[in-house]
A = this chain, B = another copy of it.
Amino acid sequence: MKLIAFDADDTLWVNEPTYVDVKKKLCELLSRYVDRDTLTEQFYDAQIKNLHVFGYGAKSFILSMIETAIELTNGAITGAEIQEIINIGRALIDFPIDLLDGVRDVLEVLAKEFDLMVLTKGDLVDQESKIARSGLAPYFKYVEIVSEKNEQTYLHILQKYQVQPADFLMIGNSLKSDILPVINIGGRAIHIPYEVTWAHEHIADEQLAGKSFTTLTGMSELLGLFSNLNEVV
């Protein structure tokens, strides 16, 4: 193993619950205009539509909230209410980073033996800020923030760092972004599911057919695996 990459959000630290909470506050703010189910559906559509032009991350999320609010109120929402939406959304920019169990211990051990990388998709400033706030930066030799995590992304990164797929291990919570594309290019992957997964990251079960990877219940189990890594991943 030459390079071990970790996904960031919901792999190293808690992220999705903050987004869920912000969305809940948006529902409350707009409750006099629209019911929760309609808002949830429309907001998801706006997010997916905006992914292609705005990408992932806090700014894109805030813009989608604003657009959804305008659309669902037929433009009746006031400027002051939109400022409230922006204020609610600012929580996504500076929320305190809550590390997941075992993360620091695992990184402490692995950083001594391997080159470690944070490999995360999202907004540049946003993800850089979370890495800084996490205090984990010293464990990582490399940081790569990308706009999408697909097979092409992984191939590009391995080429850039001159690492063969068989010498690359990816660890993350998203089957779609962290596991499947890595296995498909001949890399290794360990899946550590998180309790909440954004709908956009869900994949159909049949996409997993014939794929081989290890799933752990938490980061702490990782160290046990590394004594006989070749057997388990």
Stretch from A5-13, A86-94, A198-206 contacting the other chain: A86-94
Which residues does chain B contribute within 8 Å of A80, judged by CB atoms?
70, 75
Which residues does chain B contribute within 8 Å of A76, judged by CB atoms?
78-79
Stretch from A15-23, A61-69, A187-195, A216-224 contacting the other chain: A61-69
Mask: chain A, 45-61; 1 = CB below 8 Å from B; 0 = not: 00000000111000110
Provide the bound-state CA to CA distance between A48 and B111, in Å.
37
Copy number in the complex reads: 2
- Structural contact, A70 and B63, CB atoms closer than 8 A: no
User: A115 an interface residue at 8 Å Cβ cutoff?
Assistant: no
User: A110 an interface residue at 8 Å Cβ cutoff?
Assistant: no
Provide the bound-state CA to CA distance between A123 and B77, in Å.
29
CB distance from A124 to the nearest CB of B (A): 5
Residue in B closest to A83 when the chains form the complex, CB atoms: B70
Residue among A59, A71, A78, A142 with the highest chain B CB neighbour number at 10 A:
A59
**Residue from the list B55, B66, B73, B93 in contact with A66, Cβ < 8 A:** B66
